[in-house]
Structure 1
């Protein structure tokens, strides 16, 4: 996937990164169980969540909790290590902004 760094990523590219993250997460049994436990989501929520930018942003935010997960995901997908962060910001939109 080609996109320019940072805010040059468009919403389609951000959604693609989110979907790839969800797919990757689904193949990582231990991490997936941690995600489901932490969020209260179910396996069926993963299917419906794939259609929701906010859910994909939550997946990316969860992955961002552990640098090892970010590296493993990005290495598997050939993405720069900051791609999940930028995609999450785009998918979450203004709701992610905290002006403190």
Structure 2
């Protein structure tokens, strides 16, 4: 999971406009949010890879996963508007349970 967070964090800096675009319309400062979430994902990834993680950090990661969940819903419901028509709708729908799965994996690390 550390690799997933790290790669996702790097992607935020390589293509910030993609992450800004999937931020739902009611959220301001989309580019800032893209970079900020990228920093968080990098930090989370490094902590997980280093194995130097505390329960409160794992809880923070879980909260983060749920905070970014609306972006996944937005991608699914606005696929054409976001230029994601090349992705099958089922694939975007299949991404939605991943947040819950990752949150459960983090919960297991707390034990």
Question: TM exceeds 0.5?
Answer: no
Relative contact order, CA 8 A, sep 6+: which one is greater? 1
The structure with more radius of gyration:
2
Identify the TM-score tier after normalising by the shorter chain: 0.3 to 0.5
Q: If the length of structure 1 is used for normalisation, what is the TM-score?
A: 0.39
TM-score by length of 2: 0.37
